[in-house]
Structure 1
Amino acid sequence: MLAYILRRLLLIIPTLFGILLINFIIIQAAPGGPVEQMIAKLEGFDSAAGGATGRISGGGGEVSVAGSNYRGAQGLDPELVKEIERMYGFDKPAPERFWIMLKNYLRLDFGSSFFRDAKVTDLIVEKMPVSISLGLWSTLIMYLVSIPLGIAKATRHGSTFDLWTSTAIIVGYAIPAFLFAILLIVLFAGGSYWDWFPLRGLTSNNFDELSLGGKILDYFWHLTLPVTALVIGNFATLTLLTKNSFLDEINKQYVVTARAKGLTERRVLYGHVFRNAMLIIIAGFPAAFIGIFFTGSLLIEVIFSLDGLGLMSFEAAINRDYPVVFGTLFIFTLVGLLVKLIGDITYTLVDPRIDFESREG
């Protein structure tokens, strides 16, 4: 097992390299980079102002701008364009920029945002509480609801309970999470009916003045609607997966043998079936957690005015803020690969019979 973990850790290096390289090539080919955006902004500013003087900053540097830099139909002065390219690091060829980026990442230096005037790591730390809150609680509640519900549906397959819960699951699967979010706002956040929950932020403005218990209540008060929307919009697949996995195991021969020996249904279900049926659930946990944690909450963040990692990554991609794009890509990919490895290790904890070192001819 130790050798397997070591190989997986070493495999992370070429995987990260390949993902960064592919995305670097794609982004370099996309039009409208930071240099083009700055040139367009300066041309519009200078032509509208009839000549202006000042300094612009970005990408860890700044250049001076004078009214004479803009020359009408000829565009900006080529020297100013070169200064802008130098400011954003585009005065070097693409392979050299990629190599510099890799060396910086090995030192955990992700650079500074082109447009936010802050380091990428500081931005991630600043946005992390929102994404951790949404991802952690929604995933935890989703598993706590879906697994017992899936087991109950499997043991009552074909009953009235199974029928009605399947109807609720189909509704949850068919309607996206952001539509549930809008519905919750209309019902409970002052839309048309009740005004029970806040609509903006992770905490109240007077959060620092509250007692410890008041802070905890205020925190969950703000999280109730967005987490509920995420859970309702995502629990259907996991519930059905749990049900089908348990149904498949319940019909196997070893379950019949266990019942024939006189074991109770509870002992058969949780002593034998549970361990085997939960393998596929555990396999999907890392992908579910990473998906909700980093990407699935984008629209929820927008609807509930929560400034988290999902919204920051989306804005960075739109604005071609390359340090933020690649910094978050590196961190998210690394975390995802490590969590996937943890999921594989958990396999062996649930079922010690699994041996990643064994190979069949």
Structure 2
Amino acid sequence: MKRYLIRYTFQFVPVLLIISLIVFGLVYMAGDPVQLMLPDSATPEEVASLRETLGLNRPFWVQYGVFLKNALTGDFGVSFRYHADAMSVVLDRLPASLALGLLAMLFALSVSIPLGIWSALHRNTGVDLLITGASVACKAMPTFWLGLMLILIFSVTLQIFPVSGSGTISHMILPAIALGGGTAAEITRLVRSNMLETLGQDYIRTARAKGLGEGAVIYRHALKNCLNPVITIITVQLPFLIGGSLITETVFAYPGVGQLLVQAVNARDMSIVQAGVFLIAILVIVMNMIGDILYRTVDKRIKY
């Protein structure tokens, strides 16, 4: 375990360096932020003075070196829109996105695992076709369209949930369903296919021959050996649900990191963009590491 963590840390560093170079390069090519920070009436001398103060008149590699040095301490500059430290602004929005992402994943797992098992146990029946068809349809639905339909049905017509905003659990229900719908469809199909393969294994037939109940065979033996692919989906999708829910948070006006990034891109507030993307990248790397550890916990045959 210790050797694995050390080795993973050494892999962690070059990945972050590459991500930082990409993020800085894209922001560097996005345009001159000085033009946004100063009014149209600013004189050329004022523009040149601010550019020199911010170090934007230096060569690319010098600017990148300064950016990297500051990023190591969590300093991504000051947001000209919020007049505050960029990372602090992003971190202020992170709890809301964490709550929404975790709720969306909880919804996806609570729906997909029972449906996947049920579909596998009723293979090639009407139930199986219905679940499989619904999974394909849900996966194909654009997130923004699903969100709008949920608002139209449950907020406007039935008036059960709020249209937008945050503050209570009721504000998070519809965004969580819209956000977790695609993940639920993907996990349902994955559980079904893996369950079908597992149910045909010799040890399952042996367990049934010993007289074990169907519930014990399914949940204690078959399902346990289907979890590794599900863990993979969780570790890949959870950072996206937390930090990459740009469309969902925009549709529901939910004040999370996703909405913040959309607003920052529109306003070309590049300090916020850099801090947000960097934070999401760290979440992805950490979740991959947690996924590797969970593999070993679920299946002792897997080595670090």
Q: Does 1:199 align with 2:160?
A: no
Match of 1:275 in 2: 224
Q: Is the 8 A contact 1:146 1:235 kept in 2?
A: yes
Distance in 1 of aligned mates of 2:22 and 2:160: 47
Match of 2:19 in 1: 19
Distance in 1 of aligned mates of 2:129 and 2:303: 39
For residue 236 of structure 2, the aligned residue among 261, 267, 287 is 287
Describe the shift of the 1:111–1:27 C-alpha distance in structure 2 as closer, same or farther (beyond 3 A).
closer
- Relative contact order: is structure 1 or structure 2 higher (C-alpha 8 Å, sep ≥ 6)? 2
Match of 2:65 in 1: 99
Q: Does 1:350 align with 2:295?
A: no
Match of 1:215 in 2: none
Match of 2:99 in 1: 133
SS in 1 for 2:78: coil
Q: Does 1:35 align with 2:1?
A: no
1:87 CA displacement: 4.1
Question: 1:69-113 CA deviation, whole Å, 9 max, x = no partner?
Answer: 3xxxxxxx3x22211312433132221221122222222223211
Q: Which range is displaced more, 299-308 or 342-351?
A: 299-308
Distance in 1 of aligned mates of 2:188 and 2:239: 18
Q: Is the 8 A contact 2:231 2:294 kept in 1?
A: yes
For residue 160 of structure 1, the aligned residue among 126, 136, 151 is 126
Bigger Cα Rg: 1
- The answer for unaligned runs of 5 or more in structure 2 is none
Match of 2:213 in 1: 264
Match of 1:299 in 2: 247
Whichever residue aligns with residue 219 of structure 2, its letter is Y
For residue 338 of structure 1, the aligned residue among 265, 286, 294 is 286
Question: 1:150-207 CA deviation, whole Å, 9 max, x = no partner?
Answer: 11111221222212222322321222222121112222223xx23232223102xxxx
Match of 1:251 in 2: 200
Match of 1:214 in 2: none
Match of 1:309 in 2: 257
SS in 2 for 1:189: helix
Distance in 1 of aligned mates of 2:60 and 2:268: 16
Q: Is the 8 A contact 1:147 1:239 kept in 2?
A: yes
1:279 CA displacement: 0.8
Q: Does 1:124 align with 2:73?
A: no
Distance in 1 of aligned mates of 2:232 and 2:158: 40
Q: Is the 8 A contact 2:253 2:259 kept in 1?
A: no
Q: Is the 8 A contact 1:34 1:88 kept in 2?
A: no
Question: 1:260-308 CA deviation, whole Å, 9 max, x = no partner?
Answer: 444333333233222221111111211110111111x222222222221
Q: What percentage of residue pairs aligned between the two structures are identical?
A: 32
Match of 1:3 in 2: 3
Distance in 2 of aligned mates of 1:22 and 1:233: 28
Distance in 2 of aligned mates of 1:105 and 1:38: 22
1:38 CA displacement: 4.6
SS in 1 for 2:165: coil
Distance in 1 of aligned mates of 2:53 and 2:289: 40
Q: Which runs of 4+ in 1 moved over 6 A?
A: none
Describe the shift of the 1:350–1:224 C-alpha distance in structure 2 as closer, same or farther (beyond 3 A).
same
SS in 1 for 2:87: helix
- The answer for unaligned runs of 5 or more in structure 1 is 47-64, 70-76, 204-218, 357-361
TM-score (norm 2): 0.92
Give the total of aligned pairs. Answer: 304
Q: Is the 8 A contact 1:316 1:324 kept in 2?
A: yes
